[in-house]
């Protein structure tokens, strides 16, 4: 039950933050949601006993939270609930802090209680308003401004928190025509009604174009677009971070074209158009800054300058440049390339092209493997042929050398015999001693020559054994041949072919049943 309730509360909190245009924790922090899910409060006293739920929070969100914890409605239904105003005030009065009642039993509110209830209800009255800026007051924590109609005397006070204003990237100026989104809120100390702004957009393509060119020039002068500032892949990307909307076609285009390379893709859903897009995109980039990925991909389909405003945001661009891995931007465009694309490390025109860029990196490496495999086989065969020629040449030299030694020694022996026979008269005993000495020397020379030749033969035999293909077969390799020719590739085989498999201790005949090519 805890997990289910926490999930409902989380969905409600996300919807409320989106509706108000604020960060999630400004509605309720995670710890408060977990405590609500654990305690399951059923009334005001139980809910306000939880840390972080004070009177103002209760007046604003209490009715919605209790509807969820009581199991009366789904989170999304509560977030969009539009109860009757009278019933709301009556219910709120019953659960408000203790106070006086009149003779009819009606609750008498304090000013603060009444304003809290109004503000809680006003959060459901949000909308988009167009007007011309008539005044601006920039302060440390917020920017206060007013907008007016051109056609009548209508004026509205507005304010936007400074952190939102800096992210939105629109520099307000008097006389500028804008479209703001938000909801009304009464500032209790003064009782003044203002529009709490969550997004600001320039009105008209001309104004957008002017802001686009000004920001482009600024970033260009800083070197944000320079080629030297772009990161390159130092290894094949295996873990990919992907940011886009789950509702659009971009995610399908990317997944369908990235290729089958065993990649791990971590997806973050984000709006890619509209007033929440910039905040969600920045949040997704920040998440991936802390993630273990090799590359970040940001994609969306094509669009006009107006629809691509989120991708021309300075805060998003600067956040993207903090990434430690290369960023691929595949944002379609009508005429003007998005500034995020210009700042990215790799920029392509479509989500499909972004996927193919990664696929091509892998295909190049696969082609290298095929090349090396073929080169190894060819080099091995060439080395075998070279070694065989060397063995044959060396054997011929051994045979020729051995015959030359025998011929030379035979001639020397015949010459010596002639001398012996010719000099018998000079003394048989002397010649006999010489004959014995020569015989010993000849025996020594012959033995030395024979031993040298035997060593050479042993060396050749070792080379022959190392180069013997059967030795490779004993190591577990095999030779597959068809019609007497070795097979090196599946391209040389067909299903039903009969092939011969040679291993170290025999051969086998086999029929090809199925062929699978390794990518």
- As a whole number of angstroms, the distance between CA 249 and CA 170 comes to 29
Residues 7 and 117 in one domain: yes
Residues 310 and 194 in one domain: no
- As a whole number of angstroms, the distance between CA 282 and CA 320 comes to 8
Strand bridging mode 327-331 / 295-300: parallel
On whether residue 435 sits in a domain, the answer given is no
On whether residue 56 sits in a domain, the answer given is yes
Cα-based angle 28, 33, 39 (whole degrees, multiple of 5): 135
- As a whole number of angstroms, the distance between CA 400 and CA 392 comes to 12
Residues 250 and 332 in one domain: yes
Residues 245 and 324 in one domain: yes
In the listed set 203, 226, 252, which residue is the last one of a domain according to the structure? 203
User: Is 122 exposed, middle or buried, given 0-12, 13-18 or 19+ CB atoms closer than 10 A?
Assistant: middle
Q: Which residues contact 333 (CB under 8 A, 6 or more apart)?
A: 302, 303, 308, 341, 349
On whether residue 469 sits in a domain, the answer given is no
What was the pLDDT predicted at 102? 52
Phi, psi of 301 (to 5 degrees): -75, 180
Instruction: CATH number of the domain at 146, please.
Output: 2.40.50.140
On whether residue 442 sits in a domain, the answer given is no
Its domain, for residue 306, covers 210-349
Place of tokens 């971070």: 241
Residues 214 and 344 in one domain: yes
Residues 199 and 220 in one domain: no
- As a whole number of angstroms, the distance between CA 338 and CA 332 comes to 8
In the listed set 327, 349, 371, which residue is the last one of a domain according to the structure? 349
Strand bridging mode 295-300 / 264-269: unpaired
Give buried/exposed letters for 14-50 (b at 16+ CB in 10 A, else e).
ebbbbbbbbebeebbeeebbebbbeeebeebeebbeb
In the listed set 176, 203, 230, which residue is the last one of a domain according to the structure? 203
Residues 116 and 185 in one domain: no
Cα-based angle 21, 320, 247 (whole degrees, multiple of 5): 55
Four-residue CA torsion sign, 471, 474, 477, 479: positive
* Number of Cβ within a 10 Å radius of residue 286: 13
Note the pTM of the prediction, 2 decimals.
Answer: 0.50
On whether residue 458 sits in a domain, the answer given is no
On whether residue 146 sits in a domain, the answer given is yes
Cα 105 from chain centre: 64
Cα separation values, 496 from 260, 487, 492, 515, 517, Å: 29, 15, 12, 10, 16
519 residues of the chain, pLDDT tens digit each = 677 888 888 888 887 777 666 677 888 888 888 889 888 998 888 888 888 888 888 888 888 899 898 875 444 444 444 333 334 333 444 444 444 555 556 778 888 888 888 887 887 788 889 898 888 999 888 999 999 887 767 889 999 998 888 888 788 888 888 888 888 989 888 888 999 988 888 876 667 777 888 888 999 999 999 998 899 888 889 899 999 988 888 888 888 888 777 889 999 999 888 767 888 999 999 999 999 999 999 998 877 777 788 888 899 999 999 999 999 998 876 566 889 999 999 988 888 888 888 888 888 877 766 666 667 777 777 788 888 788 888 888 888 888 888 888 888 888 877 776 776 656 666 666 766 777 777 777 777 877 888 888 877 777 777 666 666 667 777 888 888 888 888 888 888 889 888 887 888 899 888 888 876
Instruction: CATH number of the domain at 67, please.
Output: 1.10.150
Measured between its terminal Cα atoms, the distance across the chain in Å is: 48
* Number of Cβ within a 10 Å radius of residue 256: 11
Helix, strand, coil in percent for the chain, rounding step 5: 50, 20, 30
What was the pLDDT predicted at 80? 44
On whether residue 378 sits in a domain, the answer given is no
Q: Count structural domains, the chain.
A: 4
Residues 343 and 217 in one domain: yes
- As a whole number of angstroms, the distance between CA 365 and CA 362 comes to 5
Residues 148 and 239 in one domain: no
Residues 88 and 132 in one domain: no
Residues 69 and 55 in one domain: yes
Residues 131 and 112 in one domain: no
On whether residue 218 sits in a domain, the answer given is yes
């Amino acid at each position: 039950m805890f997990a289910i309730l926490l999930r409902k509360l989380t969905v409600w909190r996300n919807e409320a933050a989106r509706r108000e245009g604020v960060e999630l924790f400004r509605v309720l922090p995670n710890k408060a949601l977990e405590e609500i899910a654990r305690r399951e409060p059923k009334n005001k006293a139980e809910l306000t006993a939880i840390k972080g739920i004070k009177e103002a929070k209760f007046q604003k969100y209490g009715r919605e939270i209790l509807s969820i914890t009581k199991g009366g409605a789904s989170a999304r239904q509560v977030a969009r609930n539009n109860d009757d105003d009278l019933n709301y005030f009556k219910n709120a009065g019953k659960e408000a802090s203790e106070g006086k009642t009149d003779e009819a039993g009606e609750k008498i509110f304090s000013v603060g209680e009444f304003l809290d209830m109004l503000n809680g209800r006003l959060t459901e009255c949000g909308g988009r308003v167009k007007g011309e800026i008539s005044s601006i007051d920039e302060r440390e924590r917020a920017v206060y401004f007013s907008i007016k109609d051109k056609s009548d005397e209508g004026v509205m006070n507005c304010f936007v928190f400074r952190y939102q204003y800096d992210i939105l990237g629109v520099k307000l100026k008097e006389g500028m025509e804008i479209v703001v989104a938000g909801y009304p809120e009464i500032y209790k100390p003064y009782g003044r009604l203002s529009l709490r702004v969550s997004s600001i957009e320039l009105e008209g393509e001309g104004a957008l174009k002017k802001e686009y060119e000004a920001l482009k020039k600024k970033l260009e002068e800083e070197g944000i677009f320079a080629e030297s500032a772009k990161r390159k892949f130092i290894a094949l990307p295996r873990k990919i971070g992907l940011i886009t909307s789950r509702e659009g076609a971009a995610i399908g285009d990317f997944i369908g074209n990235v290729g089958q390379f065993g990649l791990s893709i971590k997806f973050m859903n984000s709006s890619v158009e509209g007033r929440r897009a910039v905040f969600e995109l920045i949040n997704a980039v920040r998440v991936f800054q802390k993630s273990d990925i090799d590359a970040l991909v940001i994609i969306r389909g094509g669009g006009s300058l107006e629809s691509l405003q989120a991708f021309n945001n300075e805060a998003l661009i600067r956040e993207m440049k903090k990434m430690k891995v290369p960023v691929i931007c595949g944002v379609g465009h009508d005429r003007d390339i998005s500034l995020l694309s210009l700042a990215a490390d790799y920029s392509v025109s479509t989500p499909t092209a972004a996927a193919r860029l990664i696929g091509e990196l892998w295909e190049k490496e696969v082609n290298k493997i095929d090349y090396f495999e073929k080169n190894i086989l060819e080099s091995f065969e060439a080395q075998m042929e070279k070694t065989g020629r060397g063995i044959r040449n060396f054997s011929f030299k051994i045979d020729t050398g051995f015959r030359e030694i025998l011929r030379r020694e035979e001639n020397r022996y015949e010459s010596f015999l002639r001398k012996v026979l010719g000099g018998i008269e000079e003394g048989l005993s002397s010649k006999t001693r010489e004959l014995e000495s020569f015989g010993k020397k000849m025996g020594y020379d012959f033995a030395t020559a024979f031993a040298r030749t035997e060593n050479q033969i042993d060396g050749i035999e070792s080379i022959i054994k190392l180069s013997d293909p059967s030795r490779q077969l004993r190591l577990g390799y095999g030779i597959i041949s068809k019609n007497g020719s070795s097979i090196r590739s599946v391209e040389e085989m067909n299903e039903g072919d009969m092939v011969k498999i040679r291993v170290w201790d025999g051969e086998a005949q086999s029929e090809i049943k199925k062929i699978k090519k390794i990518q």
